[in-house]
Structure 1
Amino acid sequence: MKFEYLEHTADVKFRAYGKTLDEAFGNAALALTPLLTEDSVERVTKREISVSASNKEALLYDFLEELVVLQDTDGFLVAGVDSVEIKDREKGFSLQAVVWFDHAKRYETHGDLKSVTYHEMVIEESADGCMVQVVIDV
């Protein structure tokens, strides 16, 4: 299972899983699109996403918020994730990702993603794999 949606009173909460933290972050990106459309989104436009932050929670927030902003300003829906590479830097963490998009006008969409939140954000890493939990303000 790449991700699952959980009960939340007003917003949307999900958990994304992966064998590595890179994979869990990538699957978190994939969890955004079903919040906006039931359609299968085609890989049309590829973009490199780069963010850096002082800790992993801020890195996850910044990565997903970048995708929410692209959806809000350019109308892009996440269609796929080719790669996510998280690096531990001297003063925090960096993330490089290759993400595929298509324009929302080509699909029947519903709702809106307002922003990522730190509320109930969790990042768990173990030998068995990784899990990230995120709440999105909708």
Structure 2
Amino acid sequence: MKKYEYFDVTADIGFKAYGNDLNEAFENAGLAIFNIISDTSNVDSSIAKSFEITSEDEVSLLYDYLEELLFYHEVDFMLFCDFNVEIKRIDDAFNLKAKINGESINWNKHERKTEIKAITFHMMDVKKTSHYELQAIVDL
């Protein structure tokens, strides 16, 4: 199974991320986001960051997760290439614990692709069939 794929949206980029379980699909969504910004194969996983979020449903959790990734990218000037996600349902909410690895941005080393301005709720979706499929659009 492929990890993710992109689709065209006017003035934006959409992606679908896949996984055998919800954790893997979220991890691949992180990879999809950072491959829009740069080539993650050139990013070392030398610095680790951890965070935890709780949201009322899976779609909100996806939005909050992607927003958190973008926050660390913009505030800490980092690119990430390795994502470890653990999602649990607690009562009527979803809790996500993430450990992300990457390195500080060095545009002499890292390819500069596209800047992501924001994550949008437009067309955001979480589907489960034989696997999980996440869909999101980022504003460029």
TM-score by structure 1 length?
Answer: 0.93
5+ residue gaps, structure 2: none
- Write the distance in 2 (CA, Å) between the matches of 1:32 and 1:129: 20
- Write the distance in 2 (CA, Å) between the matches of 1:56 and 1:77: 25
Question: What is the deviation of 1:111?
Answer: 2.7
Counterpart code for 2:138: I
1:94 aligns with 2:95: yes
- Write the distance in 1 (CA, Å) between the matches of 2:13 and 2:51: 23
- Write the distance in 2 (CA, Å) between the matches of 1:70 and 1:26: 15
Match of 1:107 in 2: 110
What percentage of residue pairs aligned between the two structures are identical? Answer: 32
Instruction: String of CA shifts for 1:72-114, please: whole Å, max 9, x gaps.
Output: 1111111111x21111111311001111121122423233111
Instruction: String of CA shifts for 1:15-55, please: whole Å, max 9, x gaps.
Output: 00000011001100011111112352111111112111111
TM-score by structure 2 length?
Answer: 0.91
* Number of aligned residue pairs: 136
Match of 2:64 in 1: 62
- SS of the residue corresponding to residue 108 of structure 1 reads coil
- SS of the residue corresponding to residue 42 of structure 2 reads coil
- Write the distance in 2 (CA, Å) between the matches of 1:112 and 1:124: 27
CA RMSD of aligned residues (A): 1.2
Counterpart code for 1:104: I
Whether contact under 8 Å (1:52, 1:93) holds in the other structure is yes
Match of 1:136 in 2: 138
- Write the distance in 1 (CA, Å) between the matches of 2:26 and 2:137: 14
- Write the distance in 2 (CA, Å) between the matches of 1:43 and 1:99: 8
Counterpart code for 1:63: Y
- SS of the residue corresponding to residue 9 of structure 2 reads coil
- SS of the residue corresponding to residue 61 of structure 1 reads helix
Whether contact under 8 Å (1:86, 1:95) holds in the other structure is yes
- Write the distance in 2 (CA, Å) between the matches of 1:111 and 1:25: 21
Match of 1:14 in 2: 15
